[in-house]
Amino acid sequence: MPDYAIREFTIEYYDEAFSLWKDLEGISLSGADSFEGIQSYLLRNPGLSFIALKDERLIGTILCGHDGRRGYIHHLAVSKEFQKMGIGRALAKKSLGAIKAIGIQKCHLFVVSENFHAQKFWEQTGWLKREDIIIMSYNL
Ligand SMILES: CC(C)(COP(=O)(O)OP(=O)(O)OC[C@H]1O[C@@H](n2cnc3c(N)ncnc32)[C@H](O)[C@@H]1OP(=O)(O)O)[C@@H](O)C(=O)NCCC(=O)NCCS
């Protein structure tokens, strides 16, 4: 188990986070992940998103927010060399604890359908795969 710290995700970590996301298959990036997009997300959802740091180097992220009714998780990511050491589980636990504390009772997340290892991870950490819902999107 590596010695690492979990801290709130603040915008000063954006560049390191973005380069981690770019390096990992399974993280879908879009215009919403620009500096301004993530800054706006963090400001709108304070205290819910976290990073993992090893010797001041960012090795993990999780974004968590809500719409007042349900919570949503995005961009759970752990550097390849630190995967399978419990860091993803610890980041998810931290965000779920924080969002529960403000009264949200259920969270959803999106997984790319070919990302089987992430699906295994989420099932292993207690999440239920929904077969009864499809996602629909609309570009504004
Ligand atoms: C998914 C991800 C965040 C998991 O992080 P991690 O730190 O490696 O996960 P953990 O070590 O906390 O694993 C927690 C549990 O999930 C299981 N798990 C993790 N990765 C797994 C894999 N590739 N296949 C099967 N099970 C896996 C572990 O066995 C562990 O179970 P256990 O505690 O009972 O042994 C990491 O693999 C990653 O960054 N992947 C690339 C980005 C990505 O796909 N993110 C998810 C987007 S939805």
Q: Is 119 in the pocket of ligand 1 (CB under 6 A)?
A: no
Structural domain spans, the chain: 5-124
SS3 sequence, the chain? CCCCEEEECCHHHHHHHHHHHHHCCCCCCCHHHCHHHHHHHHHHCCCCCEEEEECCEEEEEEEEEECCCCEEEEEEEECHHHCCCCHHHHHHHHHHHHHHHCCCCCEEECCCCCCHHHHHHHHHCCCCCCCCCCCCCCCC
| Pairing of the two strands 71-78 and 107-109 | parallel
Atom number, ligand 1, closest to the C-alpha of residue 26: 44
Q: What is the pTM of this model?
A: 0.97
Distance 40 CA to ligand 1 centre (A): 28
The finding on whether 26 has its CB within 6 A of some atom of ligand 1 is yes
Residues in the chain with pLDDT < 50? none
Is any atom of ligand 1 closer than 6 Å to the C-beta of 120?
yes
CA 139 – ligand 1 centroid, Å: 31
The pLDDT tens digits of the residues spanning 98-124 come to 999 999 999 999 999 999 999 999 999
The alpha carbon of 11 and the centre of ligand 1 are apart by a number of angstroms equal to 25
Identify the architecture of domain 5-124 in CATH: 3-Layer(aba) Sandwich (3.40)
Q: Where are the alpha helices (DSSP H) in 10-115?
A: 14-23, 35-44, 87-101
How much distance in Å is there from the Cα of 54 to the middle of ligand 1? Answer: 18
Residue 2, pLDDT score: 79
> Cβ(88) to ligand 1 under 6 A?
yes
